[in-house]
Amino acid sequence: MKRTTISMPDDLARAVEREARRRDISTSEVVRIALVAHLGIGEKRRSLPFANLGSSGRSDTSSRIDEILAERWAPHIDRDR
């Protein structure tokens, strides 16, 4: 494991120390957890839950998406203005 020294504002340092006490872990561990979460390291890719929800019966939907959305949503957009 590589050791790194960082500088942070006093209020952030107090918040990290407070969180470390709350969790009963080291301040280094709090910082590691925060960096991993922020950088998305180790996260599995989530599948898109809405993919393939329905079938349009057409094979050109992805290439016509702008046109299809304009047809479907234009009446609603105009009404909401």
Domain ranges of the chain: 1-43
Which 8-state DSSP code applies to residue 65? Answer: H
Q: What class is the 1-43 domain?
A: mainly alpha
Q: Are 9 and 16 in contact (CB under 8 A)?
A: no
The Cα 80–Cα 73 span in angstroms is: 11
pLDDT tens string 21-77: 999 999 999 999 999 888 888 766 666 666 666 666 778 878 888 888 888 877 766
Is the overall model pTM greater than 0.75, yes or no? no
Quickly count: other Cβ atoms within 10 Å of residue 63's Cβ: 10
**Helix 10-23 vs helix 27-39: crossing angle, to nearest 10:** 100
